[in-house]
Amino acid sequence: MARVILKKGQEQRLLKGHPWVYRNEIADIAGSFAPGDVVEVEDCRGKFIGRGYINPISMITVRLLTRDRLEEVNEAFWRKRLYDAWNYRQQILAGADTDSFRVVFGEADFLPGLIVDKFASYLVVQTLALGIDRYQELLVALLDELIEPRGIYEQNSVLVRELEGLDLRAGFLKGPFDPLVIIHENGLKFFIDIAQGQKTGYFLDQRENKAAIRPLVKNARVLDCFCYTGGFSVHAAKYGAAQVLGFDISEEAVEMARRNAALNGYQDICSFEAVNVFDALRELERRGEKYDVVILDPPAFVKSRKALEGAIRGYKEINLRAMKIIKPGGFLVTCSCSYHMLEELFMEVVESAGLDARRRLRLIARRGQAPDHPWLCGYDESHYLKCLFLQVL
């Protein structure tokens, strides 16, 4: 087995729990290997740190699988990792009113590059790193054995795979089946399109945040920005909102949101428009419209540190526009799904928007991703979703 030898001092981040070895941290590689092979990682003194798969064309050259020198990476290893991930969800979601959740969250489940989502009786699988992609056939067989889904779909048409030198592909791994699936979440039903939807089809990480809006929205006029397929909107209607308007730039998402409102009997409360949210908020302000609750759940404005400055401007503007149309004493639910927008920085951006909008803010809650998307300590990239509940005075 080849050995990856780190430069002096580069082991510290790994010893604190981070699972990635970057290209510029490597002093030498001893022995031969093929891309995707499992290799050993050691510090400059030859001390064993861990074992993981290697991809020399990726900036993330090694992704650690184990820190136990005696643990072999074989079929029993993969079976145990998947069982542990599944067992954790069965425990942490016991009693949860849902049939859909994330089964495997990559590095946070010690399975780097692997995403598995369960939607009702179906699984969606993503293999986002070369090393895990080589084991896809085995992993799918083990998932089928463990969970016994009706069908499995591969959603690997994501651009991040190109950074690993992988092709883009999607299709049925067990099936075929109708990719338009109905899931249950918090007492509601939602259509999701496994094949054509964003990411794996639905944003499961917001499940608990959607339930948490309940005390804010009774009899309220609610604006749901970047509504996608209506998750927050339909929850608001269920919890007693008088009127809900959802904005999203995608015509397909808006049409699905309308279907989801009707599926739950809230078509008379919820309406949706396919618009540019920034432009629509300016128009609402110009017309003097006011809302009791505004929800902001935008896509990631920042996907790298280089883009952070522009993202800060985007987050500030969208929050500023929202605050200007919230009634005094109303509420803002604002989210960021980018790791690079750290929680304290996000709070600073929102506070700055409040100052410019001449509105006082009262923080009600800091929330994050649902527990089926756990935050692995030492690996801050797994803490990506920030959700602030604020009163706007």
User: pLDDT of 322-370, one tens digit each?
Assistant: 999 999 999 999 999 988 899 999 999 999 999 999 999 999 999 999 9
| Residue that has been written with the tokens 């699984």 in this structure | 123
Tell me the H-state helices in the chain.
12-15, 75-92, 130-133, 136-147, 207-212, 214-217, 231-238, 251-263, 277-287, 308-324, 343-357
How far is the C-alpha of 148 from the C-alpha of 141, rounded, in Å? Answer: 10
φ and ψ at residue 288, rounded to 5 degrees: 80, 20
Distance in angstroms (rounded) separating the CA atoms of residues 26 and 359: 50
Cβ neighbours of residue 52 closer than 8 Å, sequence gap 6 or more: 19, 21, 38, 39, 41, 62, 63, 64, 65, 66, 112, 131
Sheet with 151-156, edge to edge strand ranges: 101-105, 114-119, 122-127, 151-156, 169-174
Could you name the CATH architecture of 75-181? 2-Layer Sandwich (3.30)
Q: What is the mean pLDDT of the chain?
A: 97
- How far apart CA 137 and CA 227 sit, in angstroms, is 35
Catalytic residues: 337
Find the largest Cα–Cα distance for the chain: 69
Q: Which ranges in the chain are annotated with CATH 3.30.750.80? A: 75-181
pLDDT tens, position by position, 144-158? 999 999 999 999 999
Q: Tokens for 365, please give them.
A: 């809650």
Strand extents, DSSP E, the chain = 3-6, 20-22, 26-30, 38-42, 48-54, 60-66, 101-105, 114-119, 122-127, 151-156, 169-174, 180-185, 188-193, 221-225, 243-248, 270-274, 291-296, 326-336, 361-367, 386-392
Distance between CA atoms of residues 62 and 340, nearest Å = 21
The angle that helices 277-287 and 308-324 make with each other, rounded to 10 degrees, is 30
Rounded CA gap, 300 and 384, in Å?
A: 10
305 — pLDDT class (breaks 50, 70, 90): confident
pLDDT at 310 over 80: yes
Task: Specify the CATH class of 203-392 in words.
Answer: alpha beta
The CATH fold assigned to 3-66 is 2.30.130
pLDDT tens, 234-291? 999 999 999 999 999 999 999 999 999 999 999 999 999 999 999 999 999 999 999 9
- Span(s) in the chain for CATH 3.40.50.150: 203-392
Start-to-end CA span in the chain (Å): 62
CA angle in degrees (0–180, nearest 5) for 205-241-204: 10
Write down the pLDDT at residue 201.
Answer: 85
* CATH 2.30.130.10 in the chain, residue ranges: 3-66
The reported pLDDT for the residue numbered 306 is 76
Q: What angle do CA 136, 137, 142 make, to 5 degrees?
A: 95
Instruction: Give the chain's radius of gyration (CA, Å).
Output: 22
- Is a pLDDT exceeding 90 seen at residue 211? yes
Using one digit for the tens of pLDDT, what is the confidence trace for 102-145?
Answer: 999 999 999 999 999 999 999 999 999 999 999 999 999 999 99
- 55-109 residue pLDDT tens: 999 999 999 999 999 999 999 999 999 999 999 999 999 999 999 999 999 999 9
Tell me phi and psi for residue 291, to 5 degrees: -130, 150
Q: CB atoms < 10 A from the CB of 235, how many?
A: 29
Using one digit for the tens of pLDDT, what is the confidence trace for 311-320? 899 999 999 9
Are 195 and 170 in contact by the 8 Å Cβ rule? The answer is yes
Local structure of 351: helix, strand or coil: helix
